[in-house]
Amino acid sequence: MTWTQVDGELSALPARRGDEPGAYLWLTAGERHEQVTAELFLPAVAADELDSALGIAIGTIHAADGEWTGEVRLQFGRVKDGRGIVSASGPGIDADIRFTLSSHPRDGGFCRHCGAELEVAVVSVITPPDGGVIGTPQTRCGACGKD
Ligand SMILES: [Zn+2]
């Protein structure tokens, strides 16, 4: 990896691993052949309280030259008004990422039937012993009632 500061996008959703609250994060940084995607669970930090948060997240990092699982140290700077910055270091990733923040799942936050904003349930996360993270955001439309 050659870059140290890049632009990216972060989707942060409330999550829970068993009884343990945290945040389910989907981070995309860099462009094209240097793009890195990380799917992470960050324990003990609320998805809407990332400002100056610090923690060790666990999950999977996908890059053009490989895929890693493990722990990623996250140190957030100022996170405000839908933007923020985070230093991420771990397997396959070591960068300061200036991101736009979304509270929607990565595949969209609006109902494909009626266009209303979707309600997102707390993401139930599993971190298997062999690494990575499994979490599937569940959404529901409060307007038309469809999934
Ligand atoms: Zn709808």
Cα separation of 115 and 111, whole Å?
A: 4
Cα–ligand 1 centroid distance for 125 (angstroms): 25
Tokens 């936050």 belong to residue: 109
Give mean pLDDT, residues 97-117: 91
Cα–ligand 1 centroid distance for 129 (angstroms): 37
Give mean pLDDT, residues 50-64: 95
User: What does pTM read for this prediction?
Assistant: 0.91
Cα–ligand 1 centroid distance for 139 (angstroms): 10
Give mean pLDDT, residues 62-89: 94
Question: 57: burial class by Cβ within 10 Å (0-12, 13-18, 19+)?
Answer: buried
Cα–ligand 1 centroid distance for 8 (angstroms): 29
The three-class DSSP label of residue 23 is strand
